[in-house]
Chains A and B, each alone.
Chain A
């Protein structure tokens, strides 16, 4: 295959990739190929059975599987070519994507590539939780596929590690699958989801939330028999009988392709560094959705894909116009990351008109400051900042960035009020 067969290849048919393909077609880009390595397109929402999808992008509420189906159908209707069971396994130096599928092994040379490979939860090993290695330890991803796609029941007492949106989603799945969730544990002083979600879980399932608690061991010969938890305030440990452990959240972008092809990564998000038009540092390569940071809700990922499509379409009509050197944006602790995280000269607005900002600690009414080279570009109080959930940061300062003055820094302007 040669250049021009598929001007645009989108890698990943989750919400971001599909929304990008639909918007590209709306913008009259003629030939778009979306590659999906799973046997069915749709991404993570396919096995997230709960409600709440579609609010920001489709202006209505639906379940994950319905949301996924809707995007897949819309992409097909729009005329994007969708190929399932097709995985990009490499990206050669001459720009060819190496693709494996049941149809064979191919090399594709597209004019533009949109990376929309999403993110995954860190499994037990990556979190270095010691102990024996029994069956019954999984991530939400595995759990929801077992239950929602394969109809498996989960018996017994289960511990959920994490207290973000996805952790409550795991709680719902476990309840549907027949398990009893003995507790959710988080090392933070409180959960990181919406108050109404936690309240619902408390009322409906009576699941206790153990805050300031770390999981420090998993034990069992064949199946999980017990776990060890540590109270971070008293330093006391205790053993709790339990039959399974579900590790939730603690996301990491699925950035293998981005790394293999040598894209510049942001050390804080561990996703590709992108400007506000979601351009990477390589001409013709864009990145969207939760590959940029782990993790935003599906509708936010979809809007990110839609946003990238505008940049892709612009570049296809004017391929010489790839922006020059970019200015990186970095965060000062306790701020954790910002996305997008670079400013190109003559830049566009970021997706949804603002930057997403996270902090490692809960902050009430933090005074946030954007600086460059000793100059304050912007300073304002945000309503809240915290882990697990993004806060929008105004893009009003973007025009004030000097493309030649070095990194933009985002930090707190005064001692943190937690």
Chain B
């Protein structure tokens, strides 16, 4: 087989936020790309369960590639979010010290931020802190303000990337677990899966929790992913007025600690825990984890605990034995390993994608820009901009935008039908949830669960 007979220019393994960002980046060039994922949806693995923050990278380890790509990713994703309609709010973060030891650690955090090229960080005295966050528990000893930390929609982001990639000609193969990867004698790769195989000149491994396994399929042995599970609690929207900023903890050697943050949907998030586990599928919550989160929440903002919990979830960070991303470009053979992207993947995704594209270009991937670069505009799931139920003109245009199906989240029949007819239709209720917010509210389906299931099954009764 000659290089010319390879089916694709690039195959990307993994359609999480990182893989989808890379696919989007590459599809702005004249390339034949395929993205494969074992899951039934884009962003349905570790990308769907995180703290939904847009980090500046102020607290990254200086000099690491993570630090560099986080900073770049923050910049790129901030711009992209407004273009693509990804809900993003730049709330800023307050990092709160609760004792003398933590207060003493604050100058070191400022130094680290400066070393990471982030200089907008500044100290906040206690009276200012309580003026800005009056519901904070008593006893804070000092704080730092990180004005550029933000909150964004973790569901829309990978979907926007993948939707744009598809519009640019990328092929998407979901429910396609990779069972083997081999180098071809004439150069290039063959990626095998139960449904068949695909050959390509270049290969990108963005397999997240399984990136170490894919890397080993090519004979490397440089890192092992040990999932670090984080459990999180989502509080009722009625709790949203309690706070205005992301409230961060002073980090320790092992964890960034438990944070309290608003979400773009108008909820309040509390978490995560951090527990190394063996099973790459085990996103269970535990009674110990939930009890710990509740005690931390009570310590940080007691009134939060008076509110109902809307959701409990667990996510897995693709942690490795190394302190940095496992990014390696094997130029001659055209293999990019993009592994060990830990908790910062969402924020860094576009920085990582740009880096991979540059490196693959240097390795010989021909980068000829397309004449018509695609652009997408995603349905708005955020509370900061009007949603269809509140838009007079949209309801007048199509009465289905006035038919609220999910009462808690005010999701209309029109939005559900749009999602079902979209370029990447949902494979199941969870997929529909991530595209529309349906069933994500406080009743968790008490009122609309059956109706939504019927719409998904195509049995929508005529209005």
Min CB distance A11 to B, Å, is 12
A 118-162 binary contact with B (CB < 8 Å = 1; else 0): 001111111010111101001101100110011010000000000
The answer to the question of B453 belonging to the interface, with a C-beta cut-off of 8 Å to chain A, is yes
Interface pair B390/A105, CB less than 8 Å apart: yes
B450 near A150 (CB under 8 angstroms)? Answer: yes
A219 within 8 A of B: yes
Also in contact, A125 and B310, with CB within 8 A (given A120-B446, A130-B284):
yes
Do B285 and A130 touch across chains, with their CB atoms under 8 A apart?
yes
Among B396, B410, B443, B450, contact of A123 (Cβ-Cβ < 8 Å): B443
Q: Note all chain A residues with C-beta closer than 8 A to B212.
A: none
- Binary interface encoding of chain B residues 253-276 relative to chain A, with 1 for a CB under 8 A from any of its CBs, else 0: 000000000000000000000000
In the complex, chain A residues whose CB is within 8 Å of the CB of B463: 39, 102
User: Is B445 in contact with A256, judged by CB distance below 8 angstroms?
Assistant: no
Closest to A254 in B: B443
B283 contacts partner chain A, Cβ-Cβ < 8 Å = yes
- Stretch in contact with the other chain, from B331-339, B370-378, B398-406: B398-406
Q: Total A-B pairs in contact (CB under 8 Å)? A: 117
Instruction: Tell me, yes or no, whether A87 is within 8 Å of chain B by CB.
Output: yes
B222 surroundings in chain A (CB, below 8 A): none
Chain B residues near A57: list those with CB within 8 A: none
A346 within 8 A of B: no
Chain A residues with Cβ below 8 Å from B396 are 104
Contact indicator A125/B444 (Cβ below 8 Å): yes
Q: Are B281 and A221 in contact (CB under 8 A)?
A: yes
Q: Which residues of A contact B446 (CB under 8 A)?
A: 120-121, 123, 139, 141-142
Contact A102–B453 (Cβ < 8 Å): no
Most buried by B among A85, A121, A149: A85
Within 8 A of B (CB), among A24-55: 37-39
In the assembled complex, B105 has its CB within 8 A of some CB on chain A? no
Q: B402 near A105 (CB under 8 angstroms)?
A: yes
How far does the Cβ of B313 sit from chain A's closest Cβ, in whole Å? 7
Closest-CB distance, A215 to chain B (whole angstroms): 11
Stretch from B12-20, B118-126, B286-294, B359-367 that touches the partner: B286-294
Interface residues of B in 372-418 (CB under 8 A from A): 389-392, 395-396, 399-400, 402-404, 407, 410
Cα A145 to Cα B405 with chains together (Å): 14
Contact indicator B402/A103 (Cβ below 8 Å)? yes
Residue numbers in B under 8 Å from A219 (CB-CB) = 284
Size bracket, chain B contacts? 35 or more
Check if B238 is an interface residue, CB within 8 A of chain A.
Answer: yes
Indicate if B309 sits at the interface (CB-CB under 8 A).
Answer: yes
Residue of A98, A100, A145, A221 ringed by the most chain B CB atoms within 10 A = A100
Chain A positions within 8 Å of B313 at CB level: 133
User: B454 on the interface (CB 8 Å rule)?
Assistant: yes
**Counting CB contacts under 8 A, is A79 at the interface?**
no
Complex contact B395–A102 (CB within 8 A)? yes
When chains A and B are docked, how far (Å) is the Cα of A150 from the Cα of B447? 13
> A100-B390, A104-B392, A131-B285 known; A38 and B450 CB under 8 Å?
no
Q: Please state if A146 and B403 are interface contacts (CB–CB under 8 Å).
A: no
Interface residues on A, range: 35 or more
Within residues 155 to 211 of chain B, which ones have a CB less than 8 A from any CB in chain A?
Answer: none
A101 interface residue (CB < 8 Å to B):
yes
Closest CB of chain B to A401's CB: distance in Å? 29
For residue B239, give the distance in angstroms from its CB to the closest CB of chain A.
11
Query: Which residue of A is nearest B396, CB measured?
Result: A104
- Tell me which residues across on chain B come within 8 A of A146, comparing CB atoms: 449-450, 453
With CB as the reference atom, state the residue of chain A lying closest to B395: A104
With A125-B310, A125-B312 in contact, do A150 and B453 touch (Cβ < 8 Å)? yes
List the A side residues contacting B286 at CB < 8 Å. 130
Shortest beta-carbon distance from B51 to chain A in Å: 17
Asked if residues A120 and B447 are in contact (CB atoms below 8 Å), the reply is yes
Asked if B311 is at the interface of the complex by the 8 Å CB criterion, the answer is yes
Give the complex CA separation of A272 and B310 in angstroms: 21
**Which residue on B lies nearest to A144, using beta carbons?**
B450
A270 (CB) vs chain B CBs: closest residue: B308
A252: CB under 8 A from chain B?
A: yes
Residues of B contacting A252 in the complex (Cβ-Cβ under 8 angstroms): 308
Q: Which residue of B lies closest to A259 (CB)?
A: B238
Q: Type the 1/0 row for B111-141, where 1 means its CB is closer than 8 Å to any CB of A.
A: 0000000000000000000000000000000
Nearest chain B residue, comparing its CB with the CB of A104: B395
Q: Is the CB of A105 within 8 A of B395?
A: yes
Cα–Cα distance between A220 and B138 once the two chains are bound (Å): 41
- Is B449 a contact partner of A145 (Cβ separation < 8 A)? yes
Please name the residue on chain A nearest to B428 by beta carbon: A135
Interfacial residues of chain B within 283-326, with CB under 8 A of chain A in the complex = 283-287, 289-290, 308-313
| A87 vs B403: C-alpha distance when bound (angstroms) | 9
A76-116 vs B: 1/0 string, CB under 8 Å? 00000000010101000000001011111100000000000
> Nearest CB to that of B282 among chain A residues?
A132
B404 engages A100 (CB within 8 Å): yes
CB of B72 to closest CB in A, whole Å? 34
Kindly list chain A residues whose C-beta atoms are within 8 Å of the C-beta of B282: 132
Q: Is B103 engaged at the interface, CB distance under 8 Å to the other chain?
A: no
Whether a CB of chain A sits under 8 angstroms from the CB of B357 is no
Task: Quote the shortest CB–CB distance from A38 to chain B (angstroms).
Answer: 7
Nearest chain-A residue to B392 (Cβ)?
A105
A89:B410 contact, CB within 8 angstroms: yes
Contacts of B281 in A (CB 8 A): 221
Known: A130-B285, A146-B449. A123 touches B444 (CB 8 A): yes
Does B451 make an interface contact (CB < 8 A)?
yes
Report the 10 A-B pairs with minimum CB-CB distance, sorted nearest first: A123-B444, A145-B450, A102-B399, A142-B449, A141-B446, A102-B402, A130-B285, A146-B450, A132-B284, A120-B446
Q: List 17 A-B contacts (CB under 8 A).
A: A38-B447, A39-B463, A87-B404, A87-B410, A89-B410, A101-B402, A102-B400, A102-B402, A103-B399, A103-B402, A120-B447, A126-B309, A130-B285, A141-B446, A142-B450, A216-B287, A252-B308
B residues neighboring A (CB under 8 Å): 234, 238, 281-287, 289-290, 308-313, 389-392, 395-396, 399-400, 402-404, 407, 410, 429, 442-447, 449-451, 453-454, 459, 463
Q: A126-B442, A130-B285, A152-B450 are in contact. List 12 more A-B contacts (CB 8 A).
A: A37-B404, A38-B447, A85-B402, A87-B389, A87-B404, A123-B446, A125-B309, A125-B312, A141-B449, A142-B450, A146-B453, A252-B308
